[in-house]
Amino acid sequence: MNPIIAEVLERFLRYVKIHTASSDEPDAGHPSTACQWDLLRLLEEELRDLGLSEINLSDAGVLTAVLPANVDGEAGSIPTIAYLAHVDTYPGTPGKDVKPNIIENYDGLDIVLPGTGKLLRVADNQDLANYKGETVITTDGTTLLGADDKAGVAAIMTLLSHLTTNADIPRCRLKVAFTPDEEIGQGTANFPPLDEFGATAAYTIDGGPEGEVENETFSADTAIVKLIGKDVHPGYAKNKMVSAVRAAAHLIDLLPRDALPESTEGMEGYLHPLQINGDVNEVVVPFLVRDFELAALKDWEARLEGLLRQTEEAFPGLRCEMTVQHSYKNMRYYLDKEPRAATLALEAVKRAGMVPVLQAIRGGTDGSRLSEMGLPTPNLFGGGRNFHSVEEWIPLSAMGKAVHMLIELTRLWASEKV
Ligand SMILES: [Zn+2]
């Protein structure tokens, strides 16, 4: 076996067996679960064994380290590039006692998950059969696998190991960061200050199939809608009561059916009523507003305003208010300021022998937050499929390709200037 493939496999299998689910309980602390320290401390030790410098594991569980550049250049002119992966796994699916099911020389047929007897079907996994004859890793069917994002962790660690033993490969200054709690949206909550972190660009290695580079995320607002009615004793309510509960139901019913999360895909935006909270007097409905174009969020919000006015007309005496909170902006707007972040990634994918696929994520990532804070951070593939599921799987070759992509990307940045 190719030594890079052998190493990334060995690391991956070790890391996925360590339970690192985060917790979405409120006020769970940082990290949200103590078990994430097990992997963070192991990685800290392994970074030390690899001889990295400036190793730091913060009180909040963010592990960072540096591999110095090996190319000549004037002080301050060699770029620092950061590779990021998260150590936690999704809390909604069991992630303890992961038993990886390694299928060598896969026959291209449905796979029986040995812990449950259930099938991982080729019919539901369009590209599974493409790996006929290769090694595919699933779980036993009782847990998730945790390729999200331990495939990313294993790829970065294997890269570092390869670069330290092959000093002839030109490299820029590399910074790595392993973060907790990405799955609960807290991945960047305790990230070091960016001026201190000091990178020209960063990459999360947290994506799916080989070749994918994600440089777009949704732009996101939350529109908090308040419907204010009038409560009266129901026995004497005739022509007096204005029910905010019924008005909310009416409003929800007015929503365009073709503009909901469950009816959109690709580059389409949506309005998503997330919750309904309240009583006859007052109901509050937070709406997620999502679109890839920032300007289009305003259109969605105007459309929603229109529905509020219609609801007021249908319920005389009702008052509707809407306040908009900004969540995040499409990463693309920030990446435009450092176009090399995406272009070099696409070139690295090509050099590693794949067809690059530029993609948009129908969500936000740690990278969207970091990009907004000033560190351009596209997302690169790690190779896993069916994230957050007991049907999670990953082809071994994809993990090897992720390492090769990172080697090429590091090499490409080595010949750039800040
Ligand atoms: Zn992830």
Element (H, E) at 103: strand 101-103
**Cis-peptide into 258, omega within 30 deg:** no
- Given a cut of 90, is residue 328 above it in pLDDT? no
Distance 86 CA to ligand 1 centre (A): 7
Distance 235 CA to ligand 1 centre (A): 54
- Given a cut of 80, is residue 14 above it in pLDDT? yes
Cα 210 to Cα 395: distance, rounded to the nearest angstrom: 10
pLDDT band at residue 75, thresholds of 50, 70 and 90? confident
Distance 361 CA to ligand 1 centre (A): 12
Neighbours of 113 (CB within 10 A): 18
Query: Which pLDDT does position 41 carry in this prediction?
Result: 98
Return the SS3 of 63: strand
Distance 16 CA to ligand 1 centre (A): 13
Query: Which pLDDT does position 125 carry in this prediction?
Result: 96
What are 79's two structure tokens?
């770029």
CA distance to 227, 284, 301, per residue, from 323 (Å): 12, 11, 10
Nearest to 269 by CA among 219, 201, 216: 219
Domains of the chain in start order, with CATH, are 3-217+331-414 (3.40.630.10), 221-328 (3.30.70.360)
Give the DSSP per-residue string, 88-156: -B-TTS--SS---EEETT--SS-EE-TTT--EE-TTTSTTGGGGTTS-EEE--SSS---HHHHHHHHHH
Neighbours of 55 (CB within 10 A): 17
What are 359's two structure tokens?
């993609």
What are 319's two structure tokens?
């008052």
Distance 157 CA to ligand 1 centre (A): 16
**Contact of 213 with 342, CB cutoff 8 Å:** yes
- Given a cut of 90, is residue 315 above it in pLDDT? yes
**Contact of 383 with 394, CB cutoff 8 Å:** yes
Distance 183 CA to ligand 1 centre (A): 7
Query: Which pLDDT does position 76 carry in this prediction?
Result: 83
Q: Tokens 């330290």 map to which residue?
A: 164
**Contact of 177 with 187, CB cutoff 8 Å:** no
pLDDT band at residue 368, thresholds of 50, 70 and 90? confident
Return the SS3 of 361: strand
Strands (E), 201-295: 201-207, 212-217, 219-228, 270-273, 277-278, 282-291
Which residues are identified as catalytic?
Answer: 88, 182
Among 98-112, 217-231, 352-366, which stretch is predicted with the lowest mean pLDDT? Answer: 352-366
Taking the CA atoms of 67, 73, 75 and 78 in sequence, report the sign of the dihedral they define: negative
Kindly state the average pLDDT of the residues 381-401. Answer: 97
- Note the pLDDT tens digit of each residue in 165-200: 999 999 999 999 999 999 998 899 999 999 999 999
